[in-house]
């Protein structure tokens, strides 16, 4: 298993960090969330989301804290707002109010600096049935689709080549020809490819919507094993109905109730 992320954060210089202005202030209620954060946490506070032109909030006062390199799982009824939350975290939609940010803490649980807004470049999102969104006719083009085109100088090319190689290795696609048509891969390999597409962008937080949906038992077991390995190097947040299979990986879990209400709860298995 290749170690991941591929490059130290400082090397990937095109990833902007946006400071919140004004900085978030901390109440006694907020401090209760810090207990489990040793270093950095991905945090959401009081997220509300109402789609434009509608009268109903899909998400209501959603708050959570996910320590870095941990595995979080959100479960709950269909239509409760889980996918909507993932889309907000990935920056595909903006919350109506509230914020999602990264907070660093010292060993004694105090914030060491102002929170930094979570920018979309730091998040990789794998949609439910990601293979439906493949755009290229070979594996190489699919993985490199979102990368800078290769007019760049040699150093950038080398950097991209290393990122590509490590993404492929880390999802176990090394044995597959890069010329292969993505649609000719098995279900499990398509999921690996969808993960590689995100990993090549070196995200710090990977969010996955129903990563086991539609796979046979063998492919499901393979994806669980893959996620277990990725968890060593990345923070992962999953929305899933497949609680039993994912239980061994889960560090924190939440139930989303209809009306977009998120509560930290142990898995009901």
Span from 80-88, 94-102, 105-113, 147-155 in contact with ligand ATP (CB under 6 A) = 80-88
- 238 binds ligand ATP, rule: CB under 6 A: no
Query: Which distant-in-sequence residues (6+ apart) come within 8 Å of 53 by Cβ?
Result: none
Q: Among residues 116 and 256, whose Cβ is nearest to ligand ATP? A: 256
* Residue 198 Cα distances to 93, 140, 174, 191, angstroms: 18, 13, 16, 11
| Closest to ligand ATP by CB, 53 or 175 | 53
Cβ distance to ligand ATP smaller for residue 79 or 266: 79
Nearer to ligand ATP by C-beta: 72 or 81? 81
Interacting residues of 27 by C-beta distance below 8 A, sequence separation 6+: none
In the complex, what is the shortest distance from the CB of residue 257 to ligand ATP, in angstroms, rounded to a whole number?
Answer: 10
**Does 51 sit near ligand ATP (CB under 6 A)?**
yes
What 3-state class would DSSP assign to 194? helix
- CB of 258 vs ligand ATP, minimal distance in Å: 9
Query: Which among 142, 139, 58 is positioned nearest to 93, based on CA atoms?
Result: 58
When binding is defined by CB under 6 A, the residue of 21, 54, 107, 244 that contacts ligand ATP is 54
Residue 253 in the binding site for ligand ATP (CB under 6 A): no
By C-beta, is 235 or 240 nearer to ligand ATP? 240
Residue 82 engages ligand ATP in binding (rule: CB under 6 A): yes
Task: For ligand ATP, give the closer residue by CB, 58 or 230.
Answer: 58
- Regarding 80 and contact with ligand ATP (CB under 6 A), the answer is yes
Q: Which two tokens stand for residue 128?
A: 């439910």
Cα gap 134→122, rounded to integer Å: 21
Site size for ligand ATP, by CB under 6 A?
A: 10
* Sequence-ordered strand ranges (E) for the chain: 18-19, 40-49, 59-67, 71-76, 97-104, 116-117, 123-126, 205-209, 235-239, 252-257, 261-264
Q: State in angstroms the smallest separation of the CB of 164 from ligand ATP.
A: 31
- Give min distance, CB of 240 to ligand ATP, in A: 9
Please check whether residue 71 is in contact with residue 227, taking contact to mean a CB–CB distance below 8 angstroms: yes
Residue 148, interface with ligand ATP (CB under 6 A)? no
Other Cβ atoms closer than 10 A to 157: 13
How far apart (Å, rounded) are the C-alpha atoms in residues 175 and 218?
Answer: 18
Binding residues vs ligand ATP (CB under 6 A): 51, 54, 58, 78-84
């Amino acid at each position: 298993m290749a170690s991941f992320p591929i490059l130290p954060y400082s090397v990937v210089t095109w990833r902007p960090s946006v400071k919140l202005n004004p900085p978030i202030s901390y109440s006694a209620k907020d401090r209760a969330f810090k207990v489990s954060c040793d270093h950095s946490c991905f945090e959401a506070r009081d997220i509300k989301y109402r789609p434009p032109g509608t009268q109903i909030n899909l998400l209501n006062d959603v708050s959570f804290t996910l320590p870095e390199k941990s595995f979080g799982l959100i479960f709950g009824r269909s239509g409760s707002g889980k996918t909507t939350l993932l889309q907000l975290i990935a920056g595909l939609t903006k919350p109506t109010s509230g914020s999602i940010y990264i907070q660093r803490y010292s060993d004694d649980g105090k914030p060491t600096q102002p929170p930094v807004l979570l920018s979309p470049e730091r998040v990789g999102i794998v949609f439910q049935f990601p293979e439906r969104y493949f755009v290229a006719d070979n594996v190489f083009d699919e993985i490199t689709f979102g990368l800078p085109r290769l007019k760049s100088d040699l150093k950038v090319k080398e950097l991209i080549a290393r990122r590509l190689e490590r993404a492929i290795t880390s999802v176990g696609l090394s044995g597959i020809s890069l010329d292969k048509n993505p649609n000719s891969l098995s279900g499990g390999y398509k999921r690996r490819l969808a993960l590689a597409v995100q990993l090549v962008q070196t995200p710090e937080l990977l969010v996955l919507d129903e990563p086991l949906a539609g796979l046979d038992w063998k492919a499901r077991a393979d994806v669980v094993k893959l996620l277990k390995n990725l968890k060593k190097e990345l923070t992962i947040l999953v929305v899933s109905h497949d609680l039993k299979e994912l239980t061994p990986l889960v560090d924190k879990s939440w139930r989303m109730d209809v009306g977009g209400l998120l509560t930290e709860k142990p898995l009901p298995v």
